[in-house]
Amino acid sequence: MANSGLWVGILTALTALGASYITARATFRAARAQAETTTRAEALREERERRRSAYREMMSCVHAFNVVTWQIDDVDAARDRDSKGRLLTQMYERVGPAIGDMNRAMHEVRLDGPAAVSDAADHVRNMARLVQQRLNALLGDDSPERRDAYDAAYRDFREAYVTFIGLARGALEVKGK
């Protein structure tokens, strides 16, 4: 009988040790899962903030470019050819640095991605270059055909920019599981 008490004690001790081991493993797994979830959430938050900053900078550079291109209304309102030429020259001189800033911002977007947004930013920059070329063509020839080409290039630029905004917004959306 004393022998069976010893076995009951041993079995009780082993059961307690087993339960303790199982509880410890479950606690460890839960803590590890929580740490991984927290780390992943923090990494996603940082990625989102980096992207938001890059996209915002790109948008700011596009706005600065637009400020220059919107001066075409002043060119249209100018009364004489010399005034128009002077305003077009000023626009052309200012549009280059604006594209340079846009180029720098586009490379930031390229680093932070995703690829679709990066490609869209690159397309915006390329369309801005086309607007610059059409503006340069207006310097020597302000014919209706040249002006129509400028307006068409600007519309294409604007469409590319709207596409970029949509893709950037989509990339910043928080997606739940």
The per-residue pLDDT for range 68-96, each reduced to its tens digit, is 999 988 888 888 888 888 999 999 999 99
Helix 2-69 and helix 81-112: axis angle, to 10°? 170
User: Does residue 63 carry a pLDDT above 80?
Assistant: yes
**pLDDT digit string (tens) for 149-170?**
999 999 999 999 999 999 999 9
> 7 in a domain, yes or no?
no
Is 41 a domain residue? no
* Total Cβ atoms within 10 A of residue 53: 12
DSSP string, 137-151: HHHH---HHHHHHHH
In contact, 121 and 110? CB cutoff 8 Å: yes
Model pLDDT, residue 11: 76
Least confident of 1-5, 60-64, 123-127: 1-5
Domain membership flag for residue 154: yes
Query: Is there a domain that residue 44 lies in?
Result: no
pLDDT computed for residue 21 by the predictor: 81
Position 176 scores a pLDDT of 58
Question: How many CB atoms within 10 Å of residue 149?
Answer: 16
pLDDT value of position 2: 60
Instruction: Report the C-alpha gap between 69 and 128 in whole angstroms.
Output: 10
Q: Is residue 142 part of a domain?
A: yes
- The answer to the question of residue 16 being in a domain is no
Q: Which amino acid is at 113?
A: G
Find the CATH number of the domain harbouring 160.
1.20.120
pLDDT tens across 10-59, in order?
Answer: 778 778 788 788 888 888 888 888 888 888 888 888 888 999 999 999 99
Tally of domains in the chain: 1
Q: Which residues constitute the domain of residue 124? A: 50-172
Q: Residue 132 has which token pair?
A: 């610059």
Which residues fall within 8 angstroms of residue 153, CB to CB, at 6 or more apart? 127, 130, 131, 133, 134
pTM for this entry? 0.77
Asked if residue 5 belongs to a domain, the reply is no
Measured CA to CA, the distance from residue 22 to residue 53 in angstroms comes to: 46
Residue 134 has pLDDT above 80, yes or no: yes
Residue 153 forms part of a structural domain: yes
